[in-house]
């Protein structure tokens, strides 16, 4: 038991059928039919191996998103191959989620054997309950088909999907209502590390916030400044552009319009309120970069053209941020500094990610694209902790009780 949640140590799993929910949602290269990054799969390998080594009958449940929002989900055959290679154990991919074929395969398992069921998002209930405002109770989640069909075949539910801990969905919160439940080793590790950082970060604690999917970034910024977790917030990416507008500093019409086009207009109001309370702790760039015909141009604040999208931080800002990061006790990074996927606008993210790799302090990177950037720039090994979760991490740091944590705690009582 740790953090009020059962761990694998609390159960004797030999001969037991264990439903193991993992988050192995990875970027997929559709043309080459392969997975582009394996960070999350690698993360849950220790739990899979341990359960199998201890003689459990392991039934893995997982989802894979798609590149088009909520359409054309991939099956998990590619993932099965990777898990097989990384565990060095035989593993059967079962192209069914909870129908008669999946049930038969589960019943036929022997000690130590592993199967991977198909993408749980093929199930309508998993999908319709996903990020909707239905707000079903955990008890209602337990009434879904997948839980009703699979729970009776199992002895234990283990959740290792920390990256999905902010989602209230049948396979993430339903089984805890009807089965003994535990968190897996990756979940345990990630939850422990971020809880510790939140409780007692080494000072100064610097948050570096950027990126483009940032609805939650300002909630988090507010919380970590209010609680005193963050001593300083460095901004890049669209976060910086928004804070600049909130400060009434001209970033050009094109960049300002882009914020509204992305439906991030209300973030400007949030940023205003945060600035009012903690303005002295939030640093914005002093220069930016835009790209024209594949050529990078840098401009100082005050000279920003009206018709150019600001897609990276400039050299002066980089130098200033680097120095702060080098001297930090804790550096937490979520969201890249610019459009790092393109060469002319990679400099900001590359330099800041390298600074985090070199810092004397403890560095944490979370978020799918942020982790991809760490891999791209070859700094992953020098980062203190690479979090598999983006949304989960941000919501946790915003002070939200994560649904999966709540369900696991409930099951331990
Ligand atoms: P993460 O996945 O790490 O949480 P986000 O998904 O929030 O990060 O943001 C990543 C994306 O933000 C990247 O695809 C990057 O190209 C984009 N981005 C970064 N800076 C800007 C910017 N100034 N304007 C537009 N897009 C940006
Ligand atoms: Mg992202």
User: Does residue 217 share a domain with residue 267?
Assistant: yes
- Judged against a pLDDT cut of 80, whether residue 130 lies above it is answered with no
- What pLDDT score does 244 carry? 98
Domain that holds residue 263: 203-360
> How large is the average pLDDT for residues 388-392?
85
- How far, in Å, CA of 350 to CA of 210, rounded? 13
Q: Ligand 2 centroid to 370 CA: how many Å?
A: 7
User: Measured from the CB, is residue 285 less than 6 Å from ligand 1?
Assistant: no
- Judged against a pLDDT cut of 80, whether residue 131 lies above it is answered with no
User: Does residue 100 share a domain with residue 18?
Assistant: yes
User: Does residue 350 share a domain with residue 407?
Assistant: no
> Ligand 1 pocket test: which of 210, 237, 309, 387 has the largest number of ligand atoms within 8 Å of its C-beta?
237
- Judged against a pLDDT cut of 80, whether residue 129 lies above it is answered with no
In this predicted model, what pLDDT tens digit does every residue of 90-125 receive, in sequence order? 999 999 999 999 999 999 999 999 999 999 999 988
User: Does residue 171 share a domain with residue 78?
Assistant: yes
- What pLDDT score does 211 carry? 95
Q: How confident is the model at residue 71 (pLDDT cuts 50, 70, 90)?
A: low
- What pLDDT score does 197 carry? 83
Mean per-residue pLDDT over the chain, rounded: 94
- What pLDDT score does 368 carry? 84
User: Measured from the CB, is residue 239 less than 6 Å from ligand 1?
Assistant: no
> How large is the average pLDDT for residues 236-250?
98
User: Does residue 354 share a domain with residue 291?
Assistant: yes
- What pLDDT score does 242 carry? 98
> How large is the average pLDDT for residues 346-355?
98
User: Does residue 295 share a domain with residue 214?
Assistant: yes
The one-character DSSP state at 154 is -
Q: Return the bridge partners of 156, or none.
A: 18
User: Measured on CA atoms in the order 180, 184, 185, 187, is the torsion positive or negative?
Assistant: negative
- What pLDDT score does 27 carry? 83
> How large is the average pLDDT for residues 324-335?
96
In 3D, which of 57, 63, 47 has the Cα closest to residue 183?
47
- What pLDDT score does 213 carry? 86
In this predicted model, what pLDDT tens digit does every residue of 265-295 receive, in sequence order? 999 999 999 999 999 999 999 999 999 999 9
Written as six digits, the tokens of 323 are: 């120095």
User: Measured from the CB, is residue 311 less than 6 Å from ligand 1?
Assistant: yes
- Give the domain CATH number at 219: 3.40.50.1260
CA 368 to chain centre: 6
Written as six digits, the tokens of 144 are: 């879904």
How many separate domains does the chain show? 2
Q: Ligand 2 centroid to 132 CA: how many Å?
A: 20
């Amino acid at each position: 038991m740790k953090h009020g949640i059962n761990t694998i140590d609390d159960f004797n799993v030999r001969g037991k059928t264990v439903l193991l929910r993992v988050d192995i949602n990875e970027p997929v290269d559709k043309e080459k039919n392969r997975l582009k990054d394996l960070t999350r799969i690698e993360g849950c390998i220790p739990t899979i191996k341990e359960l199998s080594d201890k003689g459990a009958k392991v039934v893995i449940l997982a989802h894979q998103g798609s590149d088009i929002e909520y359409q054309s989900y991939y099956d998990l055959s590619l993932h099965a191959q990777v898990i097989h290679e990384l565990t060095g154990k035989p593993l059967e991919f079962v192209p069914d989620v909870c129908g008669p074929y999946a049930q038969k395969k589960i019943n036929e398992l022997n000690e130590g054997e592993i199967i991977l069921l198909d993408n749980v998002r093929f199930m309508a209930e998993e999908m319709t309950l996903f990020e909707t405002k239905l707000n079903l109770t955990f008890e209602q989640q337990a009434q879904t088909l997948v839980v009703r069909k699979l729970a009776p075949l199992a002895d234990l539910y283990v959740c290792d999907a920390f990256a999905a801990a902010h989602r209230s969905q049948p396979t993430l919160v339903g089984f805890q209502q009807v089965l003994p439940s535990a968190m897996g080793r990756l979940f345990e590790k990630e939850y422990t590390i971020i809880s510790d950082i939140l409780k007692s970060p080494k000072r100064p604690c610097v948050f570096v916030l950027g990126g483009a999917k940032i609805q939650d970034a300002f909630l988090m910024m507010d919380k970590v400044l209010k609680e005193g977790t963050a001593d300083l917030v460095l901004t890049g990416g669209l976060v910086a552009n928004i804070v600049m507008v909130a400060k009434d500093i001209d970033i050009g019409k094109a960049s300002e319009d882009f914020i509204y086009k992305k439906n991030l207009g209300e973030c400007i109001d949030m940023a205003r309120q945060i600035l009012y309370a903690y303005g002295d702790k939030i640093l914005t760039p002093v220069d930016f970069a835009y790209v024209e015909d594949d050529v990078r141009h840098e401009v100082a604040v005050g000279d920003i053209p009206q018709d150019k999208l600001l897609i990276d931080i400039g050299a002066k800002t980089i130098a200033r941020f680097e120095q702060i990061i080098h001297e930090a006790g804790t550096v937490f990074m979520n969201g890249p500094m610019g459009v790092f996927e393109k060469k002319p606008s990679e400099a900001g993210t590359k330099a800041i990610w390298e600074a985090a790799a070199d810092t004397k302090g403890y560095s944490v990177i979370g978020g799918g694209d942020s982790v991809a950037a760490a891999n791209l720039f070859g700094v992953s090994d020098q980062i203190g902790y690479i979090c598999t979760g983006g949304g989960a991490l941000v919501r946790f740091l915003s002070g939200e009780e994560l649904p999966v944590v709540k369900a696991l705690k409930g099951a331990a009582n």
